[in-house]
Amino acid sequence: MKKSTSYVFLLFFAMLALNACHDEETARPGKIKFEFRAPSGSDNGRVAALPEGSALYVSIETPDGEPIETLKELAVFQMGEHFISETLSLAPGNYNIVSFFIADGDQEVLYATPEEGSPLAGAVDDPLPVSFSIENGEVTNVAMQVVSTSGYEPDDFGYVSFSIVPVLQELFALSVFRPEEGGFQLSSARVIILHEITDLERDTLYDEYLPAAVNGITFANEPNVNYTLVVQEHGHMRYSRYFTVEALQAELQGQALVVELQPGVTFEAWGRDFMLGSYDFEVLLNSVNNSAATFWVDWGDGGILEEVTRPADFLYAYHPYPTPGPHFVSIGGDLDKLGELNIPNTGYIREISLRHAPALHEFTNGNNFSPREYDFSHNPELVSLSLSFSNVETFNVSANPRLKFVYLNGNLQFSPTALNQIILDLYASAGTNSLYEGALWLPVDPISGDILGPPTPEAIDALEALRDTYNWTITPADF
């Protein structure tokens, strides 16, 4: 008898296990379809004809508050006096509807279901949240009541706003560091995320200048689509990497992505259209005394780094752009050996950083559009500075004790105050450092003989001393 009873129990549990396995194998998503109308007594319970392009936007959560769909867009169809939506697939389980909007093609909300406790909650039989269940493989129909938004504010419905732009979830955290004395420290930076469509076409999905902090990154995305992350900060090499959101999240495991920027000479470049469809830009790079050195140029358009080695017979690095600009150009490598930087008039620049070029001897950016201000305080070896016929308005040379050749001719907009200070600083430096046979060019134009400024009497005395005592060439000679 005991043996027979044991057999029956074993058979019973085996059948339960078999049924559980069968249920698990055949489990499949169910579907939900929404029907909506106005409350009874409100225009006879009818929703007015909807404009072409109207859609339903619905947000759904689990009972624990986990978002499942946020403002999911569903097409709507008129069936007699009611409207129904297309179906939405969901896994079997219990859910809550937490927002329910009907909007036109311009995403202006026309109807909404009010939330419980709001001033309009009593206008419907079942205010939000509305609970429903999805059964295995079955279609669930949920009837909703909506109220016209005409004449009402969002808070009458219990909403903060009628915006149907979903609040995007943070995808990953990013922290940017730059090298400083004593180690790396957090840095602000411009962060860009691109979707490359073709070699010449790209969408910018994110472009923000972020503070020196751990920043959350959010943008509309597809988990397995390739994107490009770009980080730019003047004075540092441009950083870029390809990623998919899914792979990056798996890599980070909830930690922040850390980007460590490297020192660079940087500027924003515009190319000139010398050939149809090509915007050319070139820059002259040379090492101190033409010594052995390697520089790397990132032209800022997504191409590979260009290697520039010295010594070489040809000193220019050339690049054709498919668009005029601006392009964030960064130069790295043996920056402690960078002796000469010349940006000719094949293109023009804005906002240059020379902070990481301590050995720079010669800088040229003349006959061209240029930054309005330069910072040469990190270039103590600077000897020659040529900024003729440019947009420059001011700079300071008090940190350049070897500077003895300065060309500012044609810069009509140059600050008289800055000009006077430059003359006085050059005179003081010539006396302190015995700088003989220099040159200072300050003509307004090649013809008139007028001088920029004009200089103050004190600056005129300094010019005379540079000419008479230190044998400098001052142009115009009759100042």
Using 50, 70 and 90 to split pLDDT, how confident is the model at 182? confident
Burial of 340 (0-12, 13-18, 19+ CB in 10 A): buried
Average pLDDT of the residues in 324-342: 96
Give the model's pLDDT for residue 119: 96
Tell me the C-alpha to C-alpha distance, in Å, between residue 319 and each of 237, 298, 323, 342.
17, 10, 12, 15
Average pLDDT of the residues in 234-257: 95
Cβ-contact 244, 227 below 8 angstroms: yes
Give the model's pLDDT for residue 198: 67
What are 142's strand-pairing partners?
A: 34
The CATH-assigned architecture of domain 26-157 is Sandwich (2.60)
Give the model's pLDDT for residue 7: 42
Mean pLDDT of the chain: 89
Each residue's pLDDT tens digit, 96-134? 999 999 999 999 999 999 999 999 999 999 999 999 999
Cα 101 from Cα 106, distance rounded (Å)? 13
3-state secondary structure of 447: coil
Average pLDDT of the residues in 159-178: 86
Q: Is 137 left (phi over 0), alpha (psi -120 to 50) or beta?
A: left
Give the model's pLDDT for residue 274: 65
Average pLDDT of the residues in 380-404: 96
What residue ranges in 251-360 does DSSP mark as E strands?
257-260, 265-275, 278-287, 293-298, 306-310, 316-321, 327-333, 338-342, 347-353
Give the model's pLDDT for residue 277: 67
Angle at 89 between CA 84 and CA 74, to 5 degrees: 40
Where does the chain hold its CATH 3.80.10 domain(s)?
266-475
Each residue's pLDDT tens digit, 443-467? 999 888 899 999 999 999 999 999 9
Please determine, for residue 399, whether its predicted confidence score (pLDDT) is greater than 70: yes
More confident residue, 478 or 328: 328
What's the full length of the chain, in residues? 479
Q: Which of 12-21, 226-235, 393-402 has the lowest mean pLDDT?
A: 12-21
The helix (H) or strand (E) run that includes residue 460 is helix 457-468
Where does the chain hold its CATH 2.60.40.3540 domain(s)?
26-157
Which CATH topology does 172-260 take?
A: Immunoglobulin-like (2.60.40)
CATH match of 266-475 with 3.40.50? no
Residue 3: what are its φ and ψ, rounded to 5°? -65, -40
Give the model's pLDDT for residue 38: 67
Give the helix ranges, DSSP H, for 203-303. 245-252
Query: Percent of the chain, pLDDT > 70?
Result: 90
Please give the torsion angle defined by the CA atoms of residues 48, 54, 60 and 66, in that order, rounded to the nearest 10 degrees.
-140
For the chain, the distance separating the N- and C-terminal CA atoms, rounded to the nearest angstrom, is: 128
Report residue 84 CA to chain centroid gap.
41
Average pLDDT of the residues in 193-212: 86
Tell me the C-alpha to C-alpha distance, in Å, between residue 317 and each of 21, 256, 282.
68, 37, 5
Cα 78 from Cα 339, distance rounded (Å)? 74
Please determine, for residue 53, whether its predicted confidence score (pLDDT) is greater than 80: yes
Average pLDDT of the residues in 291-310: 93
Q: Assign 3-state DSSP to the chain and report helix, strand, coil percentages, each to 5.
A: 15, 40, 45
Cα 271 from Cα 281, distance rounded (Å)? 5
Using 50, 70 and 90 to split pLDDT, how confident is the model at 302? confident
Using 50, 70 and 90 to split pLDDT, how confident is the model at 4? very low
Q: At what angle do helices 416-433 and 457-468 cross, to 10 degrees?
A: 40
Report residue 388 CA to chain centroid gap.
34
3-state secondary structure of 392: coil
Please determine, for residue 48, whether its predicted confidence score (pLDDT) is greater than 80: no
Report residue 85 CA to chain centroid gap.
38
Please determine, for residue 229, whether its predicted confidence score (pLDDT) is greater than 50: yes
At 114, list the tokens: 């009010």
Cα 145 from Cα 125, distance rounded (Å)? 8
Each residue's pLDDT tens digit, 275-296? 666 788 999 999 999 999 999 9
Give the model's pLDDT for residue 8: 39
